[in-house]
Amino acid sequence: MEELYINIINRIAAEVPELSLIDEDYGQLEMSAEDDAYPVTYPCVLIGNDETEWEDLTGDTQRGRATLTVRLATDCYHDTHYTSGTYDHVRERRRLLRKVYRALHRFRAAPNASALTRVRSRGYSMPHGIKVSEMTFAFRISDQI
């Protein structure tokens, strides 16, 4: 799975260079300002929360149905209501999300994995004006001892 993560990070970095941070998701967005953590800069993509259901094949081989989550986090510092004149920032956030999706759609991140397919998406807000757009991708993977 580690090769898969590295290849996804490299793919996003190549396709969406305007991101300031691409990293494994270890809860950076949920940490408080007082926590001793690597600083998050925006816009960023965090990759994680993988989950796999495995089944035995033959010998030492297993096949799994897996999902992983990709979160695009943006700082919504700008006022974007209609009369503000800066509501194009909404368009820019959506454009970034589309670029991340296009970078990963049907991307085969490892030789032992199928192409990524988006199966879920959602958006939510975090404290301090952070907007998160989350996509869950599904794929099949095989593993051998």
Find the CATH number of the domain harbouring 127: 3.30.2000.10
Confidence of residue 19 (pLDDT cuts 50, 70, 90): very high
Q: What was the pLDDT predicted at 2?
A: 82
Mean pLDDT of 36-49: 89
Q: What was the pLDDT predicted at 88?
A: 76
How many whole angstroms separate alpha carbon 26 and alpha carbon 37?
10
Question: In terms of pLDDT, which residue wins out, 85 or 69?
Answer: 69
**Amino acid making up residue 22:** I
When divided into structural domains, the chain yields a total of: 1
Q: What was the pLDDT predicted at 145?
A: 83
- Answer for the pair 34, 67: CB distance below 8 angstroms, yes or no: no
In 10 A of CB 91, how many CB atoms?
A: 10
Q: What was the pLDDT predicted at 54?
A: 97
Provide the residue range defining the domain that includes 98: 2-144
Q: What was the pLDDT predicted at 84?
A: 59
77-132: per-residue pLDDT in tens? Answer: 765 556 656 667 788 889 999 999 999 999 999 999 999 999 999 999 998 889 99
Q: What was the pLDDT predicted at 58?
A: 87
The mean pLDDT value of the chain amounts to: 91
Mean pLDDT of 59-74: 96
Q: What was the pLDDT predicted at 31?
A: 83
